[in-house]
Amino acid sequence: MIRWAIGVHPGFVHGLSTGCPQPALVGDGARRYGDHGRDRPEMHCHRVPSAYARLMGRAILTIIGILLAIWLLFTVLGMLISALKFLLWLGVLAVIGAVIVTVISKMAKS
């Protein structure tokens, strides 16, 4: 049993909110055998995004990309600074250990 309905199909949004005038095929055969509507006509709107949507999408993605690049820069910079601080403390401990060994060895000679 298959029926035609304007603006009704599982998985797609149709109707007056999207301005899609084309009917969608629904019913028992809507999701049979995993076809998900590939062989049925008029399953989704054939609307092309407007120039405004493309420009706004590009602008939004550019801003997100810039923010992610700045975040990555500060993250890597923080990692480098923490690694340098670790190596500095490791060097300080090595110097302190060398001084202690030198002092103990000089005390043993005398």
67 or 48, higher pLDDT: 67
81/4 Cα distance (integer angstroms): 64
pLDDT band per the 50, 70, 90 thresholds, residue 96: very high
| Per-residue model confidence (pLDDT) at position 73 | 97
Q: Is 39 helix (H, G, I), strand (E, B) or coil?
A: coil
Compute the residue count for the chain.
110
Domain range list for the chain:
2-34
pLDDT band per the 50, 70, 90 thresholds, residue 93: very high
Read off the tokens for 106.
């000089």
6-54 pLDDT tens trace: 554 444 444 444 555 545 555 545 455 555 555 555 555 556 678 888 8
pLDDT band per the 50, 70, 90 thresholds, residue 1: very low
